[in-house]
């Protein structure tokens, strides 16, 4: 589980946050971006979604929702409720929401995205990822 460090940047605007999130996701092998439920989303091998951008999706916040290993959501929300939340629709499956409209710890978010990718990617893409590391 990635440690909850201090935020490392000032709060980006929605467009800047999306571009930074997009760059992190698309750097992963076999990652595909497409719109799902009206928001940019990223899929491992084109099949399973591992992250989505949420721009005012049922609230007035900008965020990233990402798959997470068991227990990570509870830990992050409990230790950093100003930065993390249980997202609607997917929170019951352990996904974690990361607010992007406040200072963001981008290295920590990159670690969360990598874990989410590993949870959802097919074996051949996980192997390709391990070769790149």
**Runs of H (alpha helix) within the chain:** 14-26, 72-79, 106-120, 123-132
Establish if 4 belongs to a structural domain: no
Number of residues assigned to the chain:
133
Establish if 133 belongs to a structural domain: no
Mean pLDDT for the stretch of residues 94-121: 96
The Cβ-side half-sphere exposure at 101, using a 13 Å CA radius, reads 10
Predicted TM-score (pTM) of this structure: 0.87
Per-residue confidence (pLDDT) for residue 113, from 0 to 100: 98
Which residues are paired to 41 by β-bridges?
Answer: 34, 52
pLDDT top residue among 29 and 59: 29
Question: What domain count does the chain have?
Answer: 1
* Residues 41-66: b if buried by 16+ CB within 10 A, e if exposed: bbbbbeeebbbbbbbebeeebbbbbb
Establish if 130 belongs to a structural domain: no
Establish if 38 belongs to a structural domain: yes
Range of the domain at 39: 14-122
Per-residue confidence at 98, pLDDT binned at 50, 70, 90? Answer: very high
């Amino acid at each position: 589980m990635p440690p909850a460090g201090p935020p490392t940047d000032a709060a980006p605007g929605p467009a800047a946050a999306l571009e930074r999130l997009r760059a992190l996701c698309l750097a992963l092998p076999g990652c595909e971006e497409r719109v799902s439920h009206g928001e940019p989303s990223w899929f491992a091998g084109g099949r399973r979604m591992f992250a989505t951008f949420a721009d005012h999706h049922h609230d007035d916040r900008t965020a990233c929702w990402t798959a997470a290993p068991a227990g990570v959501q509870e830990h992050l929300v409990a230790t950093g409720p100003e930065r993390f939340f249980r997202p609607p629709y997917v929170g019951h499956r352990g996904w974690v929401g990361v607010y992007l409209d406040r200072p963001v710890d981008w290295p920590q978010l990159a670690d969360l995205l990598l874990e989410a990718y590993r949870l959802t990617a097919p074996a051949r893409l996980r192997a390709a990822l391990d070769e790149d590391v």
